[in-house]
Chain A
Amino acid sequence: MTGPPPLGRAGKAGRTRPPAVTRGSTRRELLVALLGLPFAAASCRRGPRRGPRVPEGEIVGASHDLGHRVRDGLVPAVPADRWTRAAVAIVGGGIAGLSAAWRLERAGFRDFVLLELEEAAGGHARSGASRVTAYPWGAHYVPAPLKEDRALVALLDEMGVLGGRDAEGEPVVREEHLCRDPEERVFFKGRWYEGLYLHAGASREDLAQLAAFRAEVDRWAAWRDAKGCRAFAIPLARSSDDPEVTRLDREGFGEWVARRGWTSPRLRWLLDYACRDDYGMRLEETSAWAGLFYFAARLRGPGAEPRPLVTWPEGNGRIAAHLLAAVRPRVRLGLAAVDVASGLEAGRPAVRIVAVDRSGAARGFVADQVVFAASQLVARHAIRDWRAAPPAHLAEIEHGSWLVANLHVRSRPREVGFPLAWDNVLRESPSLGYVVATHQAGRDHGPTVLTYYHPNCDADPRSARARLLAMDHADSAELVLADLERAHPEIRGLVERLDVMRWGHAMVRPRPGFVWGSARGARRPWRGIHFANAELSGLPLLEEALHHGVRAAEEVLAARGVPFETML
């Protein structure tokens, strides 16, 4: 680093020092680090006495009050003139419900209404926007689909995200929608490293175990059953039901890993991170089938690169907005379906729905068929016959809770090591780290929004949920800032606003035995009610929500004799 480079000062943008990608700590950064020490020390000393400053912000979304009205089971009377008829009613405006509506619309069928409890549609794919950028509130990417996920391919094609097919007929995602490199980095002991797996300092044994795990994933990527089905496919409906694969669901992922003698802390961390990231669960609690699904379903075949990720500044909010735009006139927001009753109407089977709005006013809808796209948890209280006698499978559905925070920062934090990526993971934290909203837009300077994800991975989701809902804005903000402060000591000074979303019932938890267990039975329609939700797959993925929405809509179309070409 001393002395002039060869050939005098060679180089436009030339070579008085290496590019930031190699050595993150430039002279200036070193300088600042040196100078920052006394200040940092001073602020540490000051911290406990003064108490930390809480940034401006609020707890947004997830209307627990209106949501819990459904649970209370009080059904108001609906005046006779407040009843509406529609051929089909869809309950729930998350991805599953919107997909069902979108599917009906694409078949040219428009006699339907969609009821959504929140004031915004999108469910876990909701998003927000500031002056600076749009940002996600929940799910924020999908892996580029393989051609077998026909519904998602059709949807992305309609959105203009795809640019044709490759030689093998697999869809090609346009460059601007693929997650921009650098995709991810991990913070460990004071420094950022490229990628998720910590290669720096990995022993020979660590790398051997990583290779062995990859070989195992490759083996499953190559595996086909007698019918030619892949072991792990998206949507799950295309995965093999051969016992050789499904028996993986009876075992915990941690157990499965331990049985292979894989003890490398680096490998175990990577697998645990994967479980927390996709399922909000620890390695030990996750089904081995679900754990392997995360890795193997994203491979076209053995040795292939994992499918690239498709993302937008607002995350999957882009998809939700597209689906919504197609069906907006038929969507009613801020209406909670509190009672869904199957019966006869003028001698024909019909379903009556009572819904209430925030003011408590009730409305009624009569439909031939209902697509129930809200959680089974809601169904348990809303479907009249289930209130008295809930089906057995409901007891098996478990949801994790998440805290998601959006930090509006005035500028980017200083970096030590690998530069800011899209996904920024803290290795020594229970959180998943944060994604950067402006990354995909290519805006690399100035203000941005960091979306911070923190799943509660406790073995007992109820107590975790109670703890989450007991936290106020200041508690939540402190949790987020104290965590991020490890990697970004100056983060408090950069945050202009910090909003928090508490997802009480965020993700269905694929514990051992759940995905291939009895909950699968809930996919069958029941007295004119067709169910659609990612829960029915046991995997909290947009692809599964989309699949079930489309499937339920196609069941309805078939029942009504509307001609259509299946997307499944």
Chain B
Amino acid sequence: MGRVPILFLHIFVVAACGLVYELLAGTVASYVLGDSVTQFSLVIGIYLSALGAGAWLSGFVGKDVARRFIEVELAVALLGGLSAPLLFLAFASLSWFQLVLYGTVFLVGVLVGLELPLLLRILKDELEFKDLVSRALAFDYIGALVASVLFPMLLVPRLGLVRTSLAFGILNAAVGLWATYVLADLLGRRARGLRLRAALAIGVLAAGVAKADLLTSLAEEGLFADPVVYARTTPYQRIVVTSGPAGFQLFLNGNLQLSSADEYRYHEALVHPAMAAAGSPRRVLVLGGGDGLALREVLVHPTVESVTLVDIDPAMTELSRAFPPLAELNRGALADPRVKVVNEDAMVWLEAPGPPADVAIVDFPDPNTFSLGKLYTTRFYGLLKARLAPGGAVGLQCTSPLFARRSYWCVVRTLEAAGFRVRPYQCAVPSFGVWGFALAALEPIDRPLRAPPGLRSLDDASLAALFVLPPDLAPLEAEVNRLDNQVLVRYYEAEWRRWE
């Protein structure tokens, strides 16, 4: 076989690789940044303009066209091949991720844009101009077609983004290596050095494949079952929203907070027993619960005049107000005129005096760090008690009494030690398993009898059933959680570790 068909095959492969890198960048961007229309538009636009820039730059290559062609090919193999892992890593650790993203897309585009004109110049002496242009462009576009078909149907489902990226980098570099033999007469003595570099690039990328599992897990790609539609690292936590066939999920620091499919079970159980126990509550406090879903349940009650929601993270409450899927799910609760949002640590906020509340809903993440553990101490509950109006009631989420039974009872004991009368209860939330709550008040309380109408999981009978604890959830001995001992964090850690 002469070298002309081989070089057309090169055009085909180079085009396919270039398009794969472009698709990878677009996919990573829409995974991690959400808004896939914008991401793909920008990536395609930048990529195409970069192709033009590359073509223009090729005019500055004078001599040694063959050598430059192979160098460019190796560069694009490395950069494109490593682009997906690089972008995931950049997203996880840099605040200027977009700069890296668009910079990578542009650079890959420039390099790919350089390739075709250089190759055309190499081939110009071997074919007539009309044949050269028609065939070169045809192979170029066919390559793009093949890549765009393979990418969603075979590559992403089978290999995943990181491996696809690396595999195409290797293909790209291998073609470069092949070209050193095909163009050996044009390269002369330089062929050996180029072959060495090509081998090196293949080695780096192959090492990447070997470590792809590690890279993938590092890059969070494997952490979530569904595509990421929103992600942001705030000073307080990492917020990730994923979207799948069953709806969307919210994760804080990688821990599932809610699944839109069954969150109503959790939030109805969290809110309505306390609201019912307090009679006709007017002033309500929601501590934590920045997702606005407890708030949604509170606002169902027509007697409610004002709600103060205290959540440490402004990014979380803003997401709940403005991010359409979440704002729809909480029925615009954060925009309700009765609601006041305070972004402060709930404990610091409670230390300052304030007006009394008829109901307080306490919805913090589980006590898996010391800074969360402090929100489950006698000190915290003592401050909360001071804010409760006579006849008021508190509803609290208290982790799972099945998976973390001692932790659950530790919360109950701590509430009691702070002077609350407590009624423990539980409900099943498929995403979480059996979940535990507490109804607390200053005076002895009967379990509430009436659920408000129109709820999905609670009526009078199922409300009563919440307060039935099966024997496997029965009380366990537990110490009282205090600021100066933080036993709850230690219980919690020990108990959940068994389920890892």
Contact = CB atoms under 8 A, between A and B. Distances in A.
A181 interface: yes
Nearest to B374: A442
Given A179-B484, A181-B485, A12 B397 contact: yes
A11 B255 contact: yes
Contact of B256 (A16, A179, A446): A16
Interface in B239-267: 249, 251-257, 259, 266
Interface in B209-255: 217-220, 222-223, 225, 235-236, 238, 249, 251-255
A228 interface: no
A41 interface: no
B256 A11 contact: yes
Nearest to A418: B370
Interface stretch (A18-26, A108-116, A477-485, A544-552): A18-26
A443 B490 CA distance: 20
A445 B254 CA distance: 18
Interface string A55-71: 00000000000000000
Interface stretch (B62-70, B274-282, B334-342, B428-436): B428-436
Interface in B409-442: 429-433, 435
A212 interface: no
A408 to B, nearest CB: 16
A3 B219 CA distance: 15
B92 A11 contact: no
A368 B499 CA distance: 75
A27 B368 contact: no
A446 B236 CA distance: 8
B483 interface: yes
B254 A26 contact: yes
Contact of B366 (A1, A13, A178): A13
A20 B235 contact: no
B345 A444 contact: yes
A7 B429 CA distance: 12
B255 A13 contact: yes
Interface of A is mostly: loop
Nearest to A30: B218
A360 to B, nearest CB: 46
A7 B256 CA distance: 13
Interface in A145-183: 175-176, 178-183
B93 A31 contact: yes
For the side of the interface on B, what is the size category?
35 or more
Given A31-B219, A441-B348, A442-B347, A15 B266 contact: no
Of B222, B251, B253, B435, chain A has the most CB atoms within 10 Å of the CB of B253
A183 B429 CA distance: 36
Of A11, A181, A183, chain B has the most CB atoms within 10 Å of the CB of A11
Nearest to A183: B484
Contacts of B433: 7, 10-11
A143 to B, nearest CB: 13
A306 interface: no
Nearest to B371: A444
B378 interface: yes
B400 interface: yes
Nearest to B266: A12
B262 to A, nearest CB: 11
A443 B345 contact: yes
B489 A19 contact: yes
B97 interface: no
Contact of B223 (A27, A34, A179, A180): A27
A12 B432 contact: yes
Contact of B255 (A14, A27, A34, A176): A14
24 contacts: A2-B222, A11-B399, A11-B403, A13-B368, A14-B256, A15-B496, A15-B499, A16-B254, A18-B496, A19-B368, A19-B369, A19-B489, A20-B368, A22-B497, A27-B217, A28-B93, A31-B93, A31-B219, A175-B378, A175-B482, A182-B370, A308-B484, A443-B345, A445-B235
Chain A to chain B: the 5 pairs with minimum beta-carbon distance, closest first: A19-B368, A13-B366, A444-B371, A13-B365, A181-B486
Interface of B: 89, 92-93, 217-220, 222-223, 225, 235-236, 238, 249, 251-257, 259, 266, 312, 345, 347-348, 365-366, 368-372, 374, 377-379, 382, 397, 399-400, 403, 429-433, 435, 482-486, 489-490, 492-493, 496-497, 499-500
Given A11-B432, A18-B493, A18-B497, 13 more contacts: A7-B433, A11-B400, A13-B257, A13-B366, A16-B255, A31-B219, A35-B92, A175-B483, A180-B486, A183-B484, A419-B370, A444-B374, A445-B371
